[in-house]
Amino acid sequence: MTSTSGSSEHSPVETAAVVAHGRIDVRDAVERVRAVAEGASVKVVDEPETAQLAVAVGGDGTILRTLARVLGLGIPVIGINFGRVGFLASIAPERLEDDLARVFAGEYRTIEQPTLVAQLDGEVLVAVNDVVVTSSILGRMIELGWSIAGEDLGVVSCDGMICSTPSGSTAYNLSNGGPVLVRGLDAMAITFIAPHSLEARPLVVPRGAELTVRNATPDVEAAVLIDGHRSGDLAPERALSIRLGEQRSLLATLPETTFFGRYRETFTS
């Protein structure tokens, strides 16, 4: 298995959308993207859902939000890094014109990454990045019962639990000591947040092994976050199930960009 998968043979891009970070000033970068598009005869459309390719200008958060927005539409997302980390980005600011021109000419690779499906009180929620179960009261520890593939693994006192995709494994999961999942793995990582136990170790779980999380705290609700947004609550003794979904997010990269190269540049330099 290689760290990069998918074909690098694509037709030239005819329509593209630009999605920019909402809280940092990237107006100059957006204008540079538009200029490259004009020079390549690429029509820039307002809605990513109608584009052949989405260009995310920002950091990993911007890229992940764009991946979630176009999920299921077959639209790849290429990232230009104007954030702090930019691990998912393939284009550096100083290479914007040259590298984006190559992408618009069809010179890019598409990597398929699994999603997560969470079921909470009959509602189905889909995550590109991660599903987090955490205490709804700041500073209060909670107790979470958990099982995988129907096998009970006990109860852990902690601040919460993160279940992440390979895309999300380098975000909140990594900052809590969780494992980094190489692109191409069809698996999810399970990591406890500040566990009050030496036995609560992160796990990597394959497709088909469903995770069930139960709020075993008698007097505190747990909050359920989907890709960083609070999407529901887990009352005491209520359970949430999480599994790998059938939908795939589509991350576009330059052909020479590899997972291990980006890992070295981002986390070891």
| Catalytic residue list | 60
What the block records as the tokens of 231 is 């999407």
Closest CA to 53 of 24, 22, 19: 19
Q: Is the dihedral of CA 47, 225, 214, 236 positive or negative?
A: negative
Q: Are 66 and 88 a contacting pair, CB within 8 Å?
A: no
Question: Cα separation of 257 and 19, whole Å?
Answer: 21
* Alpha-carbon distances of 78 from 29, 38, 57, 131, 230, rounded to whole Å: 14, 18, 9, 23, 27
Q: From CA 165, how far away is CA 130, in angstroms rounded?
A: 6
> 233-236: long-range contacts at Cβ-Cβ below 8 A with a sequence spacing of 24 or more?
233/136, 234/120, 234/133
Cβ neighbours, 10 Å, residue 45:
15
